[in-house]
Amino acid sequence: MTELKRELGLRDLSLFAVTCIAGARWILPAAHAGPGSIALWVLTALLFAVPLAIAVGALSAKYPSAGGLYVWARNDFGPWHGFLCFWVYWVGMAVWFPTAAIFYMKAGLLLGDSRVALLAASVVAIWIALGTNLVGMRIGKWTQNIGGSASWILVAVLVIIAAVVASRQGSATHINILPSWDWGTVNFWASIAYAMSGLEMAGLMAAEIHDPERTLPRAGWIASAFALVFYISGTIAMLIVLPSQSISEMNGFAEVGNAAGRVLACPWISLLLAAIVLFCGVGQFGGIGTSISRLPFAAGADHLLPAAFGRLHPRWATPHIAIIALGIVATFLLFVYQLGDTVRAAYDEMVSLMVITGFLPYLYIFGSAWKAGKRASAVSGIAFTLMTIACAVIPSSEIHDVFLFEVKLLAGTLAVIASAWFIYRKYALSDKLQRAAK
């Protein structure tokens, strides 16, 4: 079997895209940064999310096949650039899994700082989410649908809680949406930009979408609009309940839930928020894991990875080897993530590396958008991408050894690019020799 099944309609794809874009974890650093982050959400949506939606819609219509950004870069810039785009993006998302798993399990299960418990829960969550997609999108899409629905529910619950708290004691924060420009704001903007990314993952599913030329652009606009409302509403709601300095980037949901519980005499609020956040996290694991597994599937079909990556499961018609490989790499990085540095310093370092590797492929995406005739979107997207990468290399206030931070980022980025070149040369040369022998 060589063709993926078209299982996704507008509803499924919209919820899928919402799950990939709207991450509950990014509300907390925005709330911690204060009400000025609201302006950054709006600027990011206008300068990046809207151009990305236009680019993904145009490119998915131009190349309606599995592989998304890999296929776009390969067709527009050549096989090496296609492979580099795929590899950097795939590794960046593999780095995303450990940071997301730790956050969602810590916030969703209220596990505190127990590394053993966090590690075990994170591994289970990753494999449950990927496992449901291993047996096909007919089953797996419900993991993403639940995650997307949980995002809507989370915002609604936060807004209701904030409204009731404000009626009782007013707002804990004066809402001034103008940001204060300092080095902390510059570094934080990289996280804001990353939070609004992810729509390109829907493009990776083009071969599994009913009428992708029409469905994907509509789903993209729906998901991008919801993501902006999601982040702004969530940020404001948290700042109404607590002042920004009282909201931490790792435990903010529990802190807001506890504060609201005391005001409203409802101690179960923190448990309710934790449960919803947990569903958001598992949905993101499934959505992101499923979409990026289509990248090695497309590269395997082009003989740039072992042939097994390009095969579909005979019964489920899913790229099972690619999904399993992602689970193995994510689990490995999850264990490596626990070694050495403090949890918070390692978390910040991996987030910066995640942003850099995650945004380099956007240079290809917007370059392809330029070739597809979407010139204004391409210019805005490329400029914003370069700015985001520059912001990511600026350490946050939590980093005390700046030199070590920069060395790790440089070494990590170079290692990703060098590994891409090594693998590409190995398999591209092997494929050439096999073709010549025939």
pTM of the prediction? 0.80
Given this model, what pLDDT does residue 180 score?
67
Average pLDDT over the chain, rounded to whole? 80
Given this model, what pLDDT does residue 212 score?
67
Distance of CA 433 to the CA centre of its chain: 38
- 10-432 CATH: 1.20.1740.10
Domain ranges of the chain: 10-432
Q: Which residue has the tokens 């309940």?
A: 241
Which of 267, 342, 274 is CA-nearest to residue 121? 274
> Which tokens hold the place of 68?
């998304």
> Which tokens hold the place of 391?
């912001």
Q: Per residue in 394-419, pLDDT tens? A: 776 666 677 877 887 888 889 889 98
Average pLDDT over residues 63-76: 82
- Burial class of residue 239, CB neighbours in 10 A (0-12, 13-18, 19+): buried
Please name the amino acid found at residue 49. Answer: A
> Which tokens hold the place of 4?
């993926």
Please name the amino acid found at residue 229. Answer: V
pLDDT band (50, 70, 90) for residue 2: very low
CA atoms within a 13 Å half-sphere pointing along the CA-CB vector of 221: 7
Residue 137: pLDDT over 60: no
pLDDT higher at 192 or 335: 192
> How far is Cα 153 from Cα 23, in angstroms, rounded to an integer?
13
Given this model, what pLDDT does residue 436 score?
43
Q: Per residue in 88-119, pLDDT tens? A: 988 888 888 777 888 888 887 776 666 778 78
Residue 375: pLDDT over 90: yes
Q: Per residue in 14-42, pLDDT tens? A: 777 777 787 888 899 889 888 888 988 99
> How far is Cα 399 from Cα 234, in angstroms, rounded to an integer?
27
Residue 143: pLDDT over 70: no
- Burial class of residue 212, CB neighbours in 10 A (0-12, 13-18, 19+): buried
Residue 138: pLDDT over 90: no
Given this model, what pLDDT does residue 1 score?
38
